[in-house]
Amino acid sequence: MKTRKITIIYILFFSLMVGGCADFLVENPSAMGTAETYFPTTSGFDGALNACYSSLRAVHNSRNLWLFGTDQFMQTNSYPTDINPGTYTNIDVYSPQGLNSDNGDINTFWERAYIGVDRCNRVIQLAETAELSAAERAVKVGEALTLRALYYYYLVEQFGAIPFPVEPYTELQVTAERVPEETIYAQLIGDLEQAQAVLPLTSPQFGRVTKGVAQMLLAKLYLTRGYKPFAKNDDFTNAAKYADYVINSGAYSLLSDFRMLFQPGNEKNDEIIFSIQWSKDQVLAQWDWSNNATQWGNNAHSKFGLAYDNFPGGQRSNFYNRWLRTYNSTFHTLECFGVDTLNNPGKSYVSPRLLEWINTFPDHHSFKIDKRYNATFCRLTMVEVSALGSKRFGPDKSTLWQVWSQGPGSGTSNLIYNPQQTDINRNYWEGTGRDTSMYIPAPDESHLWPAERFTELPYGVIPRKLWFSNENGDLKRSFESAYGTLPGSLWYHMDWIQPRPALYKFWEPESAYNDNWGNRDFYLMRLGETYLIAAEAHFKAGNMNEAVSRINSVRRRAAGGDINAPSYLDISTDDLSIDFILDERTRELVGEENRWTELKRTGKLIERTLKYNWWANSPFIPGGQPYLSEHHLLRPLPYAWWSLLANKDEVLQNPGYN
């Protein structure tokens, strides 16, 4: 299929050379010759193909459109009250002031995804004349087709009908037409069917598109189309088939220890199907001319933090990744890892709505059984700077306490990463003289931390009942509602605390002190998700036993056992629902998955966001009603593109957006 109109994209053809891997850059580019003579060569074609991969870095540099406004993350960490009702002008609450065609995230995402599409289109065309054998040509075109399908999947799910070029353009286009989703899905599925048939099962170069990548994306496309009005009768069956192909291929296996997936330096492991590659080379590997010569690395390590530096002996540092509070976990995200060990063995705890639960926590929940909890969140930080100061909590603020970074009399002694630190919530410096700076007990440990205990400690302890505390409101009232009235003054300043565990999957303990210079790979596809895609597809196809089997494999690994042996975390067919599968995706994939797209696909975006994201459903939203509604299942077309079209009157904006 061929569509003749597309967005305006300003790309120099030279960007194909410099956007990918650095090994084909030379000091004297004139030695390459012209584009017409260079790109058909083997090295030139490989450079152009590498640029198709490079665009993945740019597209994923911001994940706001995938994480904000969901049941998992919020843009603000404080709790809205009548004292501090907050403002409602961002995309997290779907405010028309923030979510409109001028939104920078939307415009940037559109531009960067279409740059990736354009690069893939050029490579597919170049392959016709490149110096390649027939077999090499088929494989490399298969890579480009798969990457193009990924970029288009991202775009079509965000915007619906979109411009859909499958050939490159040689001149500026100032008109456009929107191609229906049904047409786009048919083309992408056809392309991926072609690609998976020729791609190799494995590649000697880690990070290349392989058969498993194409099949994983096929499973996702079939699964997504199965929910749509233009679904085919066999979409769910096909989704299950391709997910099972990947599972049974022998090319991948679930790691026995979930923690090891996120162990620094272990990104190239047997569970990874596809990931975005970064390098420690800050000069070449992260340079991209298509984005105004911007340099960056993986920034995920710094986006899910808490104010650990405001606790005794804490400071913003390389070791704790500076930790910006960009993506703030909802209570549901933090609590659905708990397991009801008394009433519903194996069942996951579902967090209550807001303050209903503030006075009690049943002892029969355990966050230790599901090993993913401690592997996902950091609840312990250590002193980095020796400090003398007053206690943070309790009525006695006159007593001074000394905390040590390392050894008596020491000043600043940097924390040094040890590869043995596989458990981020364990004190690896015990016995060295280094003190604790902050500890956040697991929710089911709250009964171990009465106020009389933690108010007598020099370091910060934030039990579950204090997670509700408001940043700027009546904090004494909030504290006493949780613990009862205590003697003396209990005023303390929560404006320097954002007291909930921080997502820690992307920890880079040896990174530079910079938000954008992480160099760990970012997982786009791994086998843990494949099992959950297969489970959802089998569930929708009516194969309940198969769905349970796939979920139990993941949960058995989460319990620390053999995936082929019965486990305490096993579920039955009676437990299955889309909500359970979405909760399981949170436990397995939080921070990794494109959550907004997953909620949209399953028809749960509005329901679950309003249930678990209290800002999106705040009673203080102007007008008294949440902004989130049906028209938000699509994003607005970006004004920066639409306004330059000569036929803009023919290109309608998505409903609900001016």
Q: Of 336, 327, 320, 378, whose CA–CA distance to 505 is shortest?
A: 378
Buried/exposed code over 312-341 (b: 16+ C-beta within 10 A; e: otherwise) = bbbbbbbbbbbbebbbbbbbbbbbbbbbbb
Residue linked to tokens 């930080």: 381
Q: Please, which residues have CB within 8 angstroms of residue 431's CB and are 6 or more apart in sequence?
A: none
Task: Put residue 431 in one of left, alpha, beta given phi > 0 → left and psi -120 to 50 → alpha.
Answer: left
Buried/exposed code over 630-647 (b: 16+ C-beta within 10 A; e: otherwise) = eebbbbbbbbbbbeebee
Judged on CB neighbours under 10 Å (0-12, 13-18, 19+), 364 is middle
The HSE-up count of residue 508 (CA atoms within 13 Å, CB side) is 29
Could you give phi then psi for residue 381, rounded to 5 degrees? Answer: -130, 155
Distance of CA 648 to CAs 179, 632, 639, 655, Å?
A: 15, 22, 10, 15
The HSE-up count of residue 134 (CA atoms within 13 Å, CB side) is 0
Predicted structure pTM score: 0.90
Q: 448 is written with which tokens? A: 């171990």
Residue 451 is predicted with a pLDDT of 77
Residue linked to tokens 């002892």: 363
Judged on CB neighbours under 10 Å (0-12, 13-18, 19+), 30 is exposed
504 and 424 in contact (C-beta within 8 Å)?
yes
Residue linked to tokens 């100032």: 174
Q: Please, which residues have CB within 8 angstroms of residue 558's CB and are 6 or more apart in sequence?
A: 258, 370, 371, 372, 569, 587, 588
The list of the chain residues with pLDDT below 50 reads 1-30, 285-293, 353-361, 470-476, 486-496
Between CA 327 and CA 247 the distance in angstroms is: 31
Helix ranges (H only) for 160-234 are 181-198, 211-226
Q: DSSP letters along 551-593, please?
A: HHHHHHHHTTS-TTS--TT---GGG--HHHHHHHHHHHHTTTS
Q: Please, which residues have CB within 8 angstroms of residue 643's CB and are 6 or more apart in sequence?
A: none
Between CA 156 and CA 178 the distance in angstroms is: 11
Residue 356 is predicted with a pLDDT of 41
Distance of CA 368 to CAs 425, 442, 567, Å?
A: 12, 9, 14
Between CA 537 and CA 246 the distance in angstroms is: 14
Our measurement of the distance from residue 353's CA atom to the centroid of its chain's CA atoms, rounded to an integer in Å, reads 24
> In this structure, how many other beta carbons lie within 10 angstroms of the beta carbon of residue 488?
10
Q: Of 520, 487, 506, 109, whose CA–CA distance to 305 is shortest?
A: 506
Distance of CA 484 to CAs 125, 450, 452, 465, 479, Å?
A: 71, 10, 11, 12, 8
Q: Please, which residues have CB within 8 angstroms of residue 65's CB and are 6 or more apart in sequence?
A: 91, 105, 106, 109, 158, 596, 635
Q: 7 is written with which tokens? A: 């967005």
Residue 137 is predicted with a pLDDT of 95
Most distant pair of Cα atoms in the chain: their distance = 83
Residue 515 is predicted with a pLDDT of 66
Q: Is the dihedral of CA 57, 150, 181, 127 positive or negative?
A: positive
Pairing verdict, β 347-348 and 339-340: antiparallel
Could you give phi then psi for residue 402, rounded to 5 degrees? Answer: -105, 125
Paired strand residues for 503? 377
Per-chain mean pLDDT for the chain:
84
